[in-house]
């Protein structure tokens, strides 16, 4: 498994990916071997089912939305290694010395916003917020409580009175939140 993957990843690919994502070559190689071990069909791309084998996603309440994000750029419902690493880079923990466009605060906010905006209309409605809240808290909270949380969140964030949250409003609402930490998932130990 490890041998095959290092043979298939060209040095130039590693350089390009490093420049784009900020991952170090050794990390890229480890991600690639992870990628190939998930690629059960051995065809250089992952299906949605392949993603379900990632334990970090399986236990993440937003796993489903995150998997969805991997497939946003994909035309054929498969994700190749380049696309895989590009999406992962959004979750790369921020270290001052390793900041890169993809894991910047702005990109992380963008990515989080898309997770809530289920129908991609650039606005988070009360229903969308509720759907995501439901995924996050599961059955620990009553519908009534969730409803009032969603209601209050929209009221607090909504500035132009359309009862939805735009990306600008989303950013303003999270101004004091440590998005960098919350949106970091360690895929590499
Ligand atoms: Ca929407």
What string of pLDDT tens digits covers the 189 residues of the chain? 444 444 478 999 999 999 999 899 999 999 999 899 999 888 899 998 888 887 777 777 777 777 888 888 788 899 999 999 988 888 777 665 566 777 778 888 888 898 888 888 999 999 988 888 877 766 667 888 888 888 998 999 999 999 999 999 999 988 877 766 666 665 554
The reported pLDDT for the residue numbered 142 is 84
The reported pLDDT for the residue numbered 180 is 66
DSSP state of 24: -
Q: Is 79 exposed, middle or buried (0-12, 13-18, 19+ CB in 10 A)?
A: buried
The pair phi, psi for residue 86, each rounded to 5°, is -60, -45
| Residues 84, 35 contacting (CB under 8 angstroms) | yes
Distance 2 CA to ligand 1 centre (A): 42
Q: Which residues contact 21 (CB under 8 A, 6 or more apart)?
A: 85, 86, 88, 89, 92, 100, 102
The reported pLDDT for the residue numbered 17 is 94
> Could you say which of 1.10.238.10, 3.30.1360.70, 3.40.50.800, 3.40.50.300 is the CATH number of the domain covering 10-89?
1.10.238.10
- Tell me the torsion sign for CA atoms 93, 94, 98, 100: positive
The pair phi, psi for residue 27, each rounded to 5°, is -70, -40
User: Whose CA is closest to 90, among 64, 74, 113?
Assistant: 113
Distance 123 CA to ligand 1 centre (A): 4
Examine domains 10-89 and 102-182 and report if their fold is the same.
Answer: yes
User: For 102-182, which CATH superfamily applies?
Assistant: EF-hand (1.10.238.10)
Distance 59 CA to ligand 1 centre (A): 25
Q: Is 148 exposed, middle or buried (0-12, 13-18, 19+ CB in 10 A)?
A: exposed
DSSP state of 93: P
In the chain, where the domains are located: 10-89, 102-182
Distance 164 CA to ligand 1 centre (A): 8
The reported pLDDT for the residue numbered 126 is 93
Find the helix or strand (DSSP H, E) in which 45 lies.
Answer: strand 45-46
- pTM score above 0.75: no
Most distant CA pair in the chain, distance: 57
Distance 122 CA to ligand 1 centre (A): 6
The reported pLDDT for the residue numbered 131 is 82
DSSP state of 43: S
Distance 176 CA to ligand 1 centre (A): 23
Distance 125 CA to ligand 1 centre (A): 6
């Amino acid at each position: 498994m490890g041998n095959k993957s290092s043979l298939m990843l060209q040095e130039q690919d590693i350089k390009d990916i490093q420049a784009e994502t900020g991952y170090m070559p050794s990390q890229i190689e480890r991600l690639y071997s992870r990628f190939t071990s998930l690629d059960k069909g051995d065809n250089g791309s992952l299906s949605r089912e392949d993603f379900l084998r990632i334990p970090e996603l399986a236990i993440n309440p937003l796993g489903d939305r995150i998997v969805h994000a991997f497939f946003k750029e994909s035309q054929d419902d498969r994700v190749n290694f380049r696309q895989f690493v590009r999406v992962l880079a959004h979750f790369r923990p921020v270290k001052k010395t390793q900041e890169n466009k993809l894991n910047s605060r702005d990109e992380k906010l963008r990515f989080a916003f898309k997770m809530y905006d289920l129908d991609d209309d650039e606005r988070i409605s009360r229903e969308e917020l509720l759907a995501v809240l439901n995924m996050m808290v599961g059955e620990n909270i009553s519908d009534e409580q969730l409803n009032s949380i969603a209601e209050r969140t929209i009221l607090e964030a909504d500035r132009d009175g359309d009862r939805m949250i735009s990306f600008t409003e989303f950013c303003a609402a999270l101004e004091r939140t440590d998005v960098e930490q919350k949106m970091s998932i360690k895929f590499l130990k």
